[in-house]
Structures are given as C-alpha cells and as structure tokens.
Amino acid sequence: MAKNKFNQNWVHDHINDPYVKLAQKEGYRARAVYKLKEIDEAEKLIRPGQVIVDLGATPGSWSQYVRNKLAGKEGGGILGEIFALDLLPMEPIADVQFIQGDFREDEVLDQLESKLMGRKVDLVLSDMAPNLSGNSTVDAARVEYIIELAIAFARAHLKPGGSLLVKCFHGPSYNNIVNMFKDEFKLVMNKKPKASKDKSSEIFLLGKGLKHPE
C-alpha cells in the first residue's frame, strides 16, 4: 500500500513539476535540460564551433540543448559537432551524431574516434547515474566508478583547456570524487541548479582546464 502511495505522490509531483511543464512546452525530452542550461548560462561552457561529447545521452535533452546552442549556420545546421553516446537507443536529433553502445568498449570508442578524425574535444558532459540500490556504501562505489570512467574518457579526449561536467551525489564517496577532479583539472567547482530537487543529494561537478591530457 505504501508503495502505491509513493507512486501516486511521484506521479502527482511529476505532473505538477514546473520544469516538466516547461520542457513539454519548449520541446525538450526531459526536465534535466534545465540543470545544464543553468550551469551553462553561469559558466559559458557551450559556444559555437566546439566539439562536444554527451555521455549517457538518452533520452537526449542535453544533446537537444547543445544543438540549439550551436545552431546558427547559414542554411541550417550547426557550428561545431555533437557526439552522443548511450547504451540505450535514442530518438534521432538533427545534427547530433549518436553512437549506441558502452563507451568502455573499444568498438564503441573506435566509432567515436573515427568520427573525431584526430580532433580533441572541448567539452564532455555526463548526466549518467547508476541504478541505486539504497545501500549507501554500494551506491557510493557505483557513483564513484561511473565518474572515474567519465574522467578517464575526458583525459583521453579533451583538449588541454577542455572541461568536464558530471552528475554526482553527496555521499560517502563525494570527497574522493572531488579530489579526483582536483588531480585532473585546474579549476573545480560544484553546482546545485534550481531544477535539481531540494530533497535530492544530486550535485554537479565541473572541472575546467585539463592538467594532463593524454
């Protein structure tokens, strides 16, 4: 009975969520877009001409936002390139090059690298989160592992001045993750956008200026 009540509360909150309504009105696939939008507007992360990778992109609202920021090429199209990767399928987005698969696997990385043609990336975005079990120790390890993967990917693909934005959570592994970021980036900051629910431990970490590109 309690579970049904929880589901009903979630549905009620979701339907009445102003960011859900705004996303529907503006044609975005998820309310998560407004988290990226707020961080981007504060930090000026996304600019025409950039090469940007969106890890864990499905359903695609972050890629939609990036695409809109890079739009402006005469006759349509974008100034720059967007590569989106996810294990799950994603409905196509104009001008976004989607690769379905696990970016830890050589086959998927080879696909990306063939599209990059030797170029380095300006910005890596990751809204990825593990399936949470409710066990804080297990969940902290899963969060840390996913962020380690994103950092390793960024180290291999970012330009020296490039940036990485990841979703993180306050918890037992948070300080370790911040220290990992500080090892890799000249400037590290945390961001709690307004679209991130107050009761959620979700927070975003931004690293600017890769110290040791591969």
Q: What residue numbers does the annotated binding site for S-adenosyl-L-methionine cover?
A: 60, 62, 86, 102, 127
Sequence-distant (6+) residues with CB within 8 A of 81 are 50, 51, 52, 97
Annotated catalytic residue, options 35, 37, 69, 167:
167
The single residue listed with the structure tokens 């939609």 is: 64
DSSP one-letter string for 108-128: HHHHHHHHHTTPPEEEEEE--
Q: What CA–CA distance (Å, rounded) separates 21 from 15?
A: 8
Query: Is 146 in a helix, a strand, or coil?
Result: helix
Q: What CA–CA distance (Å, rounded) separates 190 from 36?
A: 13
Q: Is 199 a catalytic residue?
A: no
HSE value, Cβ hemisphere, 13 Å, CA-based, for 69: 22
Q: What CA–CA distance (Å, rounded) separates 123 from 90?
A: 21
Catalytic residue ranges: 167
